[in-house]
């Protein structure tokens, strides 16, 4: 019972921090401004980790490698802690591989979340203050689809097509995660 509680708490805390770090990485990659409530929240909750790491890990081609590598290391550390509590000793290569696959999966889930929120905002209040934020996050992924998926009446179906694509991509990633865990 204790092991289940401990692994649940570790998974919850680590996953939350990794999601925040990945969201910060994606905001910077997509050049989403941080001068909004969500951006300020991301900065406030992750700067204590990111700022010291930036002194050691430089950026590369405009990408914030410190944030990405922190997310990867934190996920690997969380997986190791969960395995240790359960009495398992996974190899370093397996931890690194599973953590890498998890980062891709989590990134897809962040995009799924952003698409759902954008669709909900567009239906309820298209002039909401956060609408441009979610548009900036999803636009690079929706724009190519809009060339091939015309609107039906006045309804844009590209978010639905993107969600289907994202969920299809998650299926092999889940299998890849299981395969990587078996290293």
Mean pLDDT for the stretch of residues 169-177 = 93
Give me the pLDDT at residue 119, please: 92
Indicate the pTM of the whole model: 0.90
Domain ranges, ordered by start, for the chain: 2-181
Comparing 115 with 182, which gets the higher pLDDT?
115
Mean pLDDT across the chain: 92
For position 128, what pLDDT does the model report? 86
- Rounded-to-integer distance, Cα 7 and Cα 84, Å: 10
Whether the pLDDT of residue 183 is over 70: the answer is: no
Contact 107, 123 (CB under 8 A): no
Task: Give the dihedral sign, CA 144/112/39/127.
Answer: positive
Residue-level pLDDT at 52: 92
- 111 pLDDT band, cuts 50/70/90, is very high
Q: Which residues contact 162 (CB under 8 A, 6 or more apart)?
A: 111, 115, 138, 141, 142, 145
* pLDDT tens digits, one per residue of 3-30: 899 999 999 999 999 999 999 999 999 9
User: What percent of the chain lies above the pLDDT cut of 90?
Assistant: 68
- The whole-number average pLDDT for the span 45-74 is 91
Query: What is the rounded CA–CA span in Å between residue 110 and residue 126?
Result: 21
Higher pLDDT, 183 or 142: 142
pLDDT at 140 over 60: yes
Residue 164 has pLDDT above 70, yes or no: yes
Using an 8 Å Cβ cutoff, are 80 and 90 in contact?
Answer: yes
pLDDT band at 154 (very low <50, low <70, confident <90, very high): confident
């Amino acid at each position: 019972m204790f092991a289940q509680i401990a692994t649940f708490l570790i998974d919850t805390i680590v996953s939350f921090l990794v999601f925040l770090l990945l969201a910060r990485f994606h905001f910077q990659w997509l050049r989403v401004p941080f001068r909004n409530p969500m951006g300020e929240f991301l900065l406030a909750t992750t700067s204590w980790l990111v700022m010291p790491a930036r002194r050691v890990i430089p950026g590369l081609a405009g990408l914030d490698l410190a944030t990405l590598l922190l997310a990867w290391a934190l996920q690997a550390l969380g997986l190791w802690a969960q395995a240790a509590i359960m009495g398992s000793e996974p190899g370093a290569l397996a931890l690194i591989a599973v953590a890498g696959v998890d980062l891709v999966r989590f990134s897809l889930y962040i995009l799924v979340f952003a698409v759902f929120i954008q669709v909900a905002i567009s239906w309820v209040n298209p002039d909401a203050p956060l609408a441009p934020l979610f548009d900036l996050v999803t636009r690079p992924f929706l724009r190519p689809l809009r060339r091939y998926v015309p609107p039906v009446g006045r309804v844009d179906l590209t978010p639905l097509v993107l969600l289907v694509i994202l969920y299809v991509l998650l299926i092999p990633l889940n299998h890849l995660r299981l395969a990587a865990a078996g290293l």
